[in-house]
Amino acid sequence: MKIASNIILSIALAVVGVGAFALGTEAAPVQKEVVKIGVILPLTGEYDWAGEATRNGMLLCLEDHPATKFEYKLTVEDCEFSPSKASLAAQKLVNVDHADILASMWGTEASAVMPISEQKRVAHIGNEWDVDLTRKCPLTVCLTSPPENYAQMQARMCKKWGVHRIALIRANLADWKPCYEPFMQAIKEDPTLQIVADERYNPPVRDFRTVLARIKEAKPDLLLVWSLLPESEIILRQSKQMGLDCRFTGYFEDITEKKMAEGVSFVCVNNFTPMFSARYKGRFNRDALGVAAQGYDQMQAVINAYEMSDHKPAAQEFVANIGKLAPWQGTCGFITPKGRYLNVGMRIVKFQNGVMVPDPDFAEINKGQGW
C-alpha cells in the first residue's frame, strides 16, 4: 500500500498527575511543554522499506521511554529518497509545523536537511558520513560509525582472508562517497592488495549482468558491494547465477534472502539486540531491520538530551547536551558520545543458518569495537 506523503503521528505520552490534595480536591495534572520532532524519511519509492522501519523504531522508542519533563510529538514527512524533496520537507516542518528539532535517516537526506537546520537555527540529528559537511553545520549531531573506521575494517577483512584482487561495485550516492577515499588509502598502504575493478552505478538498477561480466573477467578474489537494498541483494543473486567464484562482502545486514547469503561475512553497522528484535516483531508483526534500531537510538538520544534541561532547550543547548551524554548500550550497538557525534561500535558478522551472528574469525577486531 502506498504510504501518504504527509503523515502526522502524535505520541501523547502519559502525564503523571501531581499527588497533592488541597482541601480534599486532587490537583490538576501538570501541563508539559511539547517537543515537536520533524522527521524526514523515504516513505515511498525504492527505499520505502528503510523509511518505514526507521519511523517504527522511533515510535517504539517513544513508547518505551515515557516522558518526564516534556511531551514528544512526531511529524513525519516523505522525501522519496530525493535530496530536493528532503530539503522542501525540512522547510515545511520548520515553517508550517514549527518543529523544535529535525531528524533524518541516511546521508542522502541528512546532507539536504543540514543547510535548512543552520538557516532556521533548528537542531538536527541524522546519519552523515561527510565530515567536512558536518563540520560546517554545527547544529547537526550524527549517530553513526566513522566512515574511515568502516573502510579500515573492510581492508582488515581482506588481509585476514588473504585475498589480493578486489572488485568494488558501489552506488553513486552521498551515503557511500565518504568511505571511498579511506578505503582506497588502506588499499594503497598494503602492497598485497589490488583493486582490479571499480564499478559505479546510479540507482535504481535491476540488471547488473553487464557490470558483473566485466568484474568476472577481472578474476577478483573478493567482490565488495557498497549498495543499498534491494540492489545489494540483486547483485549477490546475479553474481551467483553468473558463476562468479569469489568471496562477497558489503552491505547485507537487512537482506531478505538470508539463505542466499549463508556464510557471507560483512561489517554490520546496526547490530540490534535479540531483545529489540523480539520487541519490534511483537509490536509491528515483522522482522526488525538495522535502520529501525538506528531510528530507536536517535530518538533515545533526543529524549536523553532534552531531559537534561529544566526548560525546552534551544538548538545550541541541545547540541551541547548531546556531548554531555554518558555512553550507553543502544539497540544498534554501544554508543559513545564525542562532541557532535554519537559513535556506534560496529562488528563483523556472518549469516549462519539464516541468522546474523558474530564472525568468530574476527573476534579480535570485534573486541576492539566494544563487542
Same domain, 28 and 176: no
Task: Please check whether residues 131 and 212 belong to one and the same domain.
Answer: no
Do 189 and 297 lie in one domain? The reply is no
pLDDT bracket for residue 11 (50, 70, 90): very low
DSSP H helices in 218-314: 231-241, 274-284, 290-307
Q: How many domains in the chain?
A: 2
Whether pLDDT at 45 is above 70: yes
Mean pLDDT, residues 299-320 taken together:
96
- What pLDDT, on a 0 to 100 scale, did the predictor assign at position 29? 62
The single-letter code of the amino acid at 50 is A
Q: Are 222 and 282 within one domain? A: no
Counting Cβ atoms within 10 Å, is residue 137 exposed (0-12), middle (13-18) or buried (19+)?
buried
Do 61 and 40 sit in the same domain of this protein?
A: yes
Tell me the C-alpha distance between 255 and 261, whole Å.
8
State whether 225 and 81 are in the same domain. Answer: no
Q: Are residues 205 and 320 in the same domain?
A: no
Would you state the pLDDT for residue 322? 97
Q: Residue 98 domain-assigned?
A: yes
Q: Do 227 and 363 fall within a single domain?
A: yes
Distance CA 80, CA 46 (A): 8
Q: Give the domain CATH number at 215.
A: 3.40.50.2300
Q: Is residue 1 part of a domain?
A: no
In a domain, residue 172? The reply is yes
Q: Please write the tens of the pLDDT for every residue from 83-116.
A: 999 999 999 999 999 999 999 999 999 999 999 9
**Are 224 and 360 found together in one domain?**
yes
pTM above 0.75, yes or no: yes
| DSSP, residue by residue, 35-74 | EEEEEEE--SSTTHHHHHHHHHHHHHHHHHS--SSEEEEE
DSSP assignment of 87-139 equals HHHHHHHHHTS--SEEEE-SHHHHHHHHHHHHHHT-EEEE----HHHHHT-TT
C-alpha grid cell for residue 116?
535548512
Whether residues 32 and 104 fall in one domain:
yes
Mean pLDDT of 35-39: 98
* Average pLDDT of the chain to the nearest whole number: 90
Burial class (CB in 10 A: 0-12, 13-18, 19+), 27: exposed
pLDDT digits (tens, 9 = 90+) for 354-371: 888 999 999 998 888 777
| Structural domain harbouring 157 | 147-268+347-368
Same domain as 323, residue 199: no
Side-chain-side CA neighbours of 100 within 13 Å: the count stands at 20
Query: Would 16 be classed as within a structural domain?
Result: yes
